Amino acid sequence: MGEALLLRLMLLQEAAVGWVDVPFAELPQQAARAATWIFPRAHLHALAGPPPSPLHTGRMRLEPWGLVYAGYHPGPPHPVLYALEGPDLNDPTELRLAALFMEHFLTASRAAGYREELERQARTDWLTGAGNRRAFERALQGLSPGWGLIVVDVDGLKAINDTQGHHAGDRHLREIARQLQAVLLQGGLYRVGGDEFALLFPLEELGLLEATLPQLPVSWGLARGEEATGEALYHLADQRMYAMKAGRKGTT
């Protein structure tokens, strides 16, 4: 084995070790930089748009670059076709080196993608896409005085479930979550119970929320960071939400 090839293999090994635990979004940039070290005049491209067919990893002709070594990442978080352009892929040594490079890169991409997907699932409500109770409890810690918390209870969900079925109730919850999320410019939306959501937001957005919430079939309660912190802030907003709910029942 020539010294030049040995050096390139060492660079590839060093790059592959450095890709461990790198976020998925940062991997292509790091791999593209490594490709310029390992291959003369090489470029690593991520193909924009839907990947062409057939989808596979290996040497192929790909517009607009011509002969490349392609690598397909099926996701998560989304499918991507990468093209390594530059090495003389008619040379057996270059072809093997390109294959080894792409194998290391795709392995790192799969690991990062699945790691981030598991983390996303661990903090996301499966039905509405909002943050779950675990994510809410983390976000609630250390909330600054310039932030507010609104607890929202969806009115009439039991009646929808009883008369139209749980699928209709699920659709209703998803629609409420969508409308709440659309109002939040910053902060976060969390599903903290079956029909209960929490909104964390900077107080400068309070006016928009106060204008929107009365238009939705919900009861809600507000607490500010100046009044309490952590779980105490949540319980204060929760109590105010139930007071609004009880007041509405008293007027019907």
**Tens of pLDDT, residues 57-86:** 888 888 777 889 999 998 899 889 999 998
Would the CATH topology of 3-123 be identical to that of 133-250? Answer: no
Query: What is the pLDDT at residue 227?
Result: 85
Q: Is the pLDDT of residue 209 over 90?
A: yes
Q: Which CATH number fits domain 3-123: 3.90.400, 3.30.450, 3.40.50, 1.10.10?
A: 3.30.450
Nearest-angstrom CA–CA distance, 215 and 152 = 13
Question: Does residue 252 surpass a pLDDT of 60?
Answer: no
Distances from the Cα of 243 to the Cα of 201, 222, 225, 236, angstroms: 22, 11, 20, 11
Tokens representing 174? Answer: 């998803």
How much is the pLDDT for 28? 95
Residue found by looking up tokens 């903090």 in the block: 123
**pLDDT, tens digit, 9 for 90 and up, residues 79-93:** 899 999 987 888 888
Kindly report the backbone phi and psi dihedral angles of residue 189, in degrees, each rounded to the nearest multiple of 5, phi listed first. -110, 135
Measured distance CA(53)–CA(237) in Å, rounded: 53
pLDDT above 90 coverage of the chain, percent: 66
Please give the single-letter amino acid code of residue 202: P
Is a pLDDT exceeding 70 seen at residue 54? no
Q: How confident is the model at residue 65, as a pLDDT?
A: 78
Which tens digits make up the pLDDT trace of 162-208? 999 999 999 999 999 999 999 998 889 999 999 999 999 999 999 99
CATH of segment(s) 133-250:
3.30.70.270
pLDDT value at residue 31: 96
Q: Where are the chain's structural domains?
A: 3-123, 133-250
Rounded Cα distance between 48 and 178, Å, is 28
Q: Which two tokens stand for residue 154?
A: 């969806």
| Other Cβ atoms within 10 Å of 21 Cβ, number | 9
pLDDT surpassing 70 at residue 56? yes
250 band by pLDDT with thresholds 50, 70 and 90: low
Question: Confidence band (pLDDT; 50, 70, 90) for 47?
Answer: confident
Location of structure tokens 């709440």: 180
Q: Residue 192's closest CA among 128, 242, 246?
A: 128
Q: Which residue has the higher pLDDT, 55 or 121?
A: 121
Average pLDDT over residues 107-133: 93
- Measured CA to CA, the distance from residue 134 to residue 4 in angstroms comes to 52
pLDDT classification of 114: cutoffs 50, 70, 90: very high
Per the confidence metrics, is the pTM higher than 0.75?
no
Q: What phi and psi, each to the nearest 5 degrees, are found at residue 195? A: -125, 25
